[in-house]
Amino acid sequence: MGGSRDGLIRKIEDRTAQVGVVGLGYVGLPLLVEVARSGYNAIGFDVQASVVEVVRCGESHVEDVPSELLKGYVADGLATATTDFSRLAECDAIAICVPTPLSKTKDPDLSYVAAATKSVLASLREGQLIVLESTTYPGTTRDVLRPVLEQSGLVAGRDFFLCFSPERVDPGNPVWHTRNTPKVIGGLTPACTEAGAALYERVFDTVVSVESVEAAELVKVYENTFRMINIALVNELAQMCDKLGVDVWNVIDAAATKPFGFMKFSPGPGLGGHCIPLDPHYLSWKMKTLAYKTRLIEVASEINAEMPAYVVRKIADALNDDGKAMSRSRVLVLGVAYKRDVSDLRESPALDVLRLLQEKGAKVSFHDPHCPVIEDDGHTVLDGLPMHSVALDEEALRAADAVVIVADHRAVDYGLVGRHAQLVVDTRGVMRELPATARVVGLSPHAAARLA
């Protein structure tokens, strides 16, 4: 064991170790760039030839990775990409960064992890470091990856080193990015943790080692469960404020002045992104196998899942107040990405809002400067056709019976919206301080709404 670990660590220390990254999406491509930035030869692996081709040309398909940066590392020979998984044999360390979706019944789908693990098995050799970064339930690394990899005859912790390190990607965050976000890592054995930390300490600014792979796996799902539950709480607060006739944003802003014991969360039209809507269900599923019911997760999930329908009811009620039926109304949705200033549509609540509006007969269009088109995925677009972003101008605003703010992109001129729309349903609170001739309806009453 000592020789394998010591040899790997020497390669890591003198930057002769070659690092492979399996999966070149929102997690894998930024990691590939940071590995290359740290002076290691980095090989990216992906099953999609189109993704591999653009990366090999130095073009980034991930917003948080500038093409100019990637192109420089490709030109220097520090970064490349391939669909040839046999080249995993060249790698001294391999990070697995593949999707972990949920099935329709909200059970973990580890098919991508299983496929990646089999590819690693085919080329596994003594002295390699394998790190799973894909979000999953506690026990996956030990109970799923380890048995497959040990089919090679090599023993984890002795002949090769197996770790889990949760990804902490926040798309569009201008402050916290891959390198400066503290990196948690836990190994199957202390030797595994030592080997994994040796590499990641040279790639990330801060590395936090934990006692086991299970602890590292639980860190990730706990972080996002914490956010999901608190978002559910503030979404329920918005509905309570609506019943009480109180401005939820006024309540939140006042509560946030408390300098201790409070963390600000904001309500919205529902949960989106790959992590927060999904990750808590990994923990919930695992605990069901241990005869434990995660009651708080289940209730919070229900509250968040109901928010798009709550928004659509607000739209219908507001139109009804204007003497208009939803089935004969034109509704313009502003922002279809899952959050501000990104192009990511994964699990976006806006897609549910669009679908529900269409089912009720509304004539729906959308504007999003980051998402020019929504392709048909079998359920998003009711009539089976792609939807394209429309221009946001006076004509479009005046033609709409209701304008609905779902994602509050900074590039949108909300002053223009307030001046020319008839009715604005604001799920993000962006119109509270803006003069508006439009009637503004929020998730709860807007105390600061005023006429120009």
- Active-site residue, 163 included: no
399: burial class by Cβ within 10 Å (0-12, 13-18, 19+)? middle
Catalytic-labelled residue, pool 97, 192, 241, 275: 275
Catalytic center residues: 275
